[in-house]
Amino acid sequence: MEETRPIVLLNAEEQRVLGALLEKSRTTPDYYPMTINSLTAACNQKTSRNPVVNYSEETVTLTLNALKIKGLASTVTAAGSRAVKWKHNLAIYYPLLPADLSILCLLLLRGPLTPGEINTSAGRLYEFETIEAVQENLQRLASSEPAFVKQLQKRPGQKEARYMQVFGGSTAEEPMEASNDFDGALNTELEERVARLEAEVKELKAILDQLL
């Protein structure tokens, strides 16, 4: 019986590069495997990415080497070409189906998504017949050993729960939510300080008016 491999933990750069390789293997197969230059452009796309980044080719090269060491990427040298190209090995490292890869690709590139958002965005990667098919795949990925996705609590007013990939850690906090919480606390503190300053200014004006 084949031993179950645990989830390979990846940093933010590794998640983005792996996601870009997954995406381009499906959407632009004629240009896959990818050169460093084309992969850098794919990582830095301003559409279908959250967050938007600006990686250098050096960053992408170092990240690819890290993924290679972890067994999730490898090099390919075409006959008669000096250019070294890269491909992902995610479907080799784990027993993942094309539908699974499309879901993980979206979650790696865009962050947590609802089943509806995945169904809407997956067209070029994989054609799900219904949103129920997306939900079934998500539930299987969440309950498999190892689990590849995690269901998050619903946001206030949100009908669908979102799912996140766990290559960044299954207990990792969501950067955007953490940032929003921090911003909210900071705004509250600033508002209180402004209110105090305005009250002090009014008191000073009243004192000056009495002196004059």
pLDDT digits (tens, 9 = 90+) for 7-21: 999 999 999 999 999
Tokens representing 47?
Answer: 């559409």
Q: Please calculate the CA angle 117-89-96 and round it to the nearest 5 degrees.
A: 50
Distance CA 96, CA 78 (A): 26
What are 65-73's contacts with CB under 8 Å, separation 24+?
66/14, 67/10, 67/14, 67/17, 67/18, 70/8, 70/10, 70/14, 71/8, 72/8, 72/10, 72/14, 72/18, 73/17, 73/18, 73/21
The span from the CA of 87 to the CA of 1, in Å, is 28
Kindly report, residue by residue over 152-211, the tens digit of the pLDDT.
988 788 788 999 999 998 665 454 444 444 445 445 555 665 566 566 656 656 555 655
Percent of the chain, pLDDT > 90?
Answer: 70
Average pLDDT, the chain: 86
Read off the pLDDT of each residue in 59-73 and give the average, rounded to a whole number. Answer: 98
pLDDT of residue 82: 77
Can you count the helices (H) and strands (E) in the chain? 8, 4
User: What pLDDT does 194 receive?
Assistant: 55
